């Protein structure tokens, strides 16, 4: 194994063990760095310490010539920064060539959300006459009630449900835990699913206590949740982009629109940095006008 290969292996171990990143995230780093090694090989560069700022500028130009979106270029830069920061931190390099590397300036994109009527439309359209239908109703009620990531839903176990206390224990990124309240509807459908439908899906397979199972008795995967939601949106003619994360966005936005404190929402979402949560403060102008006219002492004067 070459020195560069050993550095890469050490970096991947760092991502897996110390940062505890998800496997998909680790793979994204590896894919980005593999593209960079291919570029370096074409330049006859075989060691990370031979990379300087000009090499990085040439690489950025190559990415753009390949037609990559600004978001993809920014992600490649982020992977390179993380890698070189690791090499400096471990003493393999003295200087970080990426420290002055400018990422593309990305336009601020607001999260796609559903209004409350859209959420109700989707939930009420689920046919709960079957075990799978009850599962889907319980699952999407929970996602909207607790603002969960799709990966958190896939890995959720029965022991994480604190139904007697109307709470749920969520294990998020980096295996960090948070406790989030459950609403009445989510609790009702979870009880219905656990007591009457989940036993009919188990089929005798060992499923490690995973809450949501597929029709074969195995843990439901993220692709399966995407597919179910896509078909559900099509069935009601909802002409909006809908994904499992849309429920999380909607959860946060609706709480803030209802007057919830930003830091409380941050805690329930499991965000480390409050600036990540602040994106949900994009309240539409109609709502702002409504609040202003209702509460500002001079707004009601004609």
Helix (H, G, I), strand (E, B) or coil at 135: helix
Q: Is 116 within 8 Å of 254 (Cβ atoms)?
A: yes
Q: In angstroms, rounded to a whole number, what is the distance separating the alpha carbons of residues 117 and 139?
A: 18
Please report how the helices 116-124 and 131-146 are oriented relative to each other, as an axis angle in degrees rounded to 10: 160
- For residue 287, give every residue at least 6 positions away whose Cβ sits within 8 Å of its Cβ, in sequence order, or none: 257
Q: In angstroms, rounded to a whole number, what is the distance separating the alpha carbons of residues 26 and 18?
A: 12
Residues found in the chain: 302
Q: In angstroms, rounded to a whole number, what is the distance separating the alpha carbons of residues 8 and 10?
A: 5
Q: In angstroms, rounded to a whole number, what is the distance separating the alpha carbons of residues 196 and 184?
A: 18
- Only one residue has tokens 């709480």, namely 255
Q: In angstroms, rounded to a whole number, what is the distance separating the alpha carbons of residues 192 and 20?
A: 34
- The residues that are catalytic are 149, 173, 245, 248, 271, 280
How many other β-carbons are positioned within 10 Å of the β-carbon of residue 25? 14
Q: In angstroms, rounded to a whole number, what is the distance separating the alpha carbons of residues 291 and 265?
A: 20
Q: Please give the torsion angle defined by the CA atoms of residues 194, 198, 200 and 203, in that order, rounded to the nearest 10 degrees.
A: -140
- Tokens for 65? 């010539």
Q: Could you tell me where the beta strands, DSSP code E, fall in the chain?
A: 161-162, 167-171, 177-181
Q: What is the largest CA-CA distance in the chain?
A: 78
Q: Is 251 within 8 Å of 146 (Cβ atoms)?
A: yes
């Amino acid at each position: 194994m070459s020195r560069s290969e050993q550095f890469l292996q050490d970096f991947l171990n760092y991502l897996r063990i110390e940062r505890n990143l998800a496997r998909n995230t680790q793979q994204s780093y590896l894919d980005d760095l593999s593209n960079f090694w291919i570029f370096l090989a074409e330049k006859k560069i075989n060691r990370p310490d031979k990379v300087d700022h000009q090499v990085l500028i040439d690489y950025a130009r190559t990415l753009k010539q390949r037609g990559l979106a600004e978001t993809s270029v920014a992600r490649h830069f982020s992977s390179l920064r993380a890698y070189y920061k690791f090499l400096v931190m471990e003493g393999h390099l003295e200087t970080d060539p990426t420290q002055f590397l400018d990422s593309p300036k990305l336009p601020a994109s607001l999260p796609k959300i559903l209004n409350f009527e859209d959420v109700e439309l989707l939930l009420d359209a689920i046919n709960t006459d079957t075990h799978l239908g009850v599962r889907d109703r319980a699952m999407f009620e929970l996602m909207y009630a607790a603002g969960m990531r799709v990966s958190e839903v896939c890995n959720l176990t029965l022991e994480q449900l604190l139904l007697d206390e109307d709470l749920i224990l969520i294990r998020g990124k980096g295996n960090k835990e948070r406790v989030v309240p459950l609403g009445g509807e989510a609790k009702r459908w979870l009880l219905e699913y656990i007591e009457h439908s989940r036993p009919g899906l188990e089929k005798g397979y060992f499923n490690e206590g995973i809450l949501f199972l597929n029709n074969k008795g195995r843990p439901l995967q993220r692709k399966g949740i995407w597919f179910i939601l896509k078909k559900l949106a099509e069935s009601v003619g909802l002409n909006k982009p809908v994904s499992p994360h849309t429920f999380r966005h909607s959860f946060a936005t609706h709480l803030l629109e209802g007057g919830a404190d930003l830091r409380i929402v941050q805690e329930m979402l499991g965000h480390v940095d409050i600036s990540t949560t602040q994106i949900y403060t994009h309240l539409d102008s109609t709502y702002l006008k409504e609040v202003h006219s209702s509460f500002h002492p001079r707004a009601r004067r004609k």
